[in-house]
Amino acid sequence: MRHTLKLPAIGALTLAFMAPALANDDLPAPVAALTEQGLTIHGEFEGPAGLTGYGASHSAGEVAIYLLPGGEHAIVGTLVDAEGNNLSEPALDKHVRAAQFAEVWQDLEASHWIGDGNPDAERIVYTFTDPNCPYCRQFWHEARPWVEAGEVQLRHIMIGVLAADSPAKAAALLGADDPAAALHAHSGEGDEIEAGPQSREVEEQVYANNQLFDSLGFMATPTTLYRDGDRVDRVEGVPSAERLEEAMGSPAP
């Protein structure tokens, strides 16, 4: 199942940015009435068969609203065509999620990560990694074909959430003289990292990474994020073979 990142204060993610809301004065009466029930309207779009659509969000997710001809009634839900294709998702991506996708990616770029692979690789993949997570090590190994071929740089956002010494181990990896080599030894060769004292700056980097992980509503390690066109998708835990190819952007080289 594909996971789509959610908007701020909508369960899966909590971000400081949201697409701007349309003023109620600019909305038809049925749509304005829905805002009184807790919906926020972010954009208007042209739907099929003469319908006017609106991208909206609420406390549990995003939803499309379709204004019927005449402007006196509206339908809330998913519009499909004769083949069962979901026509609402692209509109929600454009009018509700697009700005949020960009904001998520900026937050990932600004986090504290260890680069694994070619920094000039065409594809960048972020993954939240706890030093005590065996599944993170498994994912490290399964990503080797793409990383070693230079096609993907895997950026490990080091967090400490699984065990009492996880934050200290994450800090030791981030604070190593050669973090990439230290992570390679730890994840690839099975060398346990020593949880020694680190600078306050490095400890704060781990704390900030933990805060980002929590703010995005994630619970599993690894959680991996990647671009799919204009979208940002995620996979929690060790990806299946199919999802691994999706995350890496191609079959194994």
Find the CATH number of the domain harbouring 79.
3.10.450.70
Identify whether residues 218 and 117 lie together within a single domain. Answer: yes
**Taking residues 159-174, what's their average pLDDT?**
96
**% pLDDT > 90, the chain:** 70
| Residue 80, beta-bridge partner list | 86
Confidence label for 15 from pLDDT (cuts 50, 70 and 90): very low
Q: How far from each other are the two terminal CA atoms of the chain, in whole angstroms?
A: 24
**Taking residues 30-47, what's their average pLDDT?**
92
**Taking residues 205-220, what's their average pLDDT?**
94
Distance from C-alpha of 103 to C-alpha of 100, rounded to nearest angstrom: 5
Distance from C-alpha of 133 to C-alpha of 203, rounded to nearest angstrom: 19
* Angle (nearest 5°) at CA 177 between 172 and 178: 95
- Of residues 17, 18, 19, 9, the one with CA closest to residue 59: 9
Sheet holding 113-116, edge to edge: 3-4, 231-236, 223-228, 123-129, 152-158, 113-116
Beta strands in the chain (DSSP E): 3-4, 40-46, 52-58, 61-67, 74-76, 113-116, 123-129, 152-158, 223-228, 231-236
Residue 154 inside a domain? The answer is yes
pLDDT of residue 20: 57
Identify whether residues 131 and 66 lie together within a single domain. Answer: no
Distance from C-alpha of 238 to C-alpha of 127, rounded to nearest angstrom: 11
**Taking residues 135-164, what's their average pLDDT?**
97
Residue 253 inside a domain? The answer is no
Identify whether residues 47 and 130 lie together within a single domain. Answer: no
pLDDT of residue 27: 92
Residue 142 reports pLDDT greater than 90: yes
Residue 13 reports pLDDT greater than 80: no
**Structural domain range at position 165:** 111-248
Asked if 191 contacts 70 with a C-beta cutoff of 8 angstroms, the reply is no
The residue ranking higher by pLDDT, 166 or 19, is 166
Answer with the one of 97, 127, 155 that is the final residue of a domain: 97
Domain count for the chain, please give it: 2
Distance from C-alpha of 235 to C-alpha of 155, rounded to nearest angstrom: 15
- Of residues 150, 125, 135, 128, the one with CA closest to residue 232: 125
Identify whether residues 56 and 135 lie together within a single domain. Answer: no
Asked if 3 contacts 11 with a C-beta cutoff of 8 angstroms, the reply is no
96-131 pLDDT, tens digit per residue, is: 877 778 888 999 999 999 999 999 999 999 999 999
Identify whether residues 121 and 238 lie together within a single domain. Answer: yes
Residue 104 inside a domain? The answer is no
pLDDT of residue 229: 83
pLDDT of residue 194: 83
pLDDT of residue 10: 29
pLDDT of residue 160: 97
75-96 pLDDT, tens digit per residue, is: 999 999 999 999 998 888 888 8
Report residue 64 CA to chain centroid gap.
21
Confidence label for 21 from pLDDT (cuts 50, 70 and 90): low
pLDDT of residue 4: 41
Identify whether residues 193 and 129 lie together within a single domain. Answer: yes
Identify whether residues 189 and 151 lie together within a single domain. Answer: yes
Q: What is the pTM of this model?
A: 0.75
pLDDT of residue 98: 78
Q: DSSP letters along 53-112, please?
A: EEEEEETTEEEEEEEPTTSS-EEES--B-TT--BSHHHHHIIIIIHHHHHHHHHHHHTS-
Beta strands in 171-230 (DSSP E): 223-228
Look at 130-134, 142-146, 231-235 and tell me which has the smallest mean pLDDT.
Answer: 231-235
Identify whether residues 90 and 118 lie together within a single domain. Answer: no
Look at 16-30, 63-77, 192-206 and tell me which has the smallest mean pLDDT.
Answer: 16-30
Residue 70 inside a domain? The answer is yes
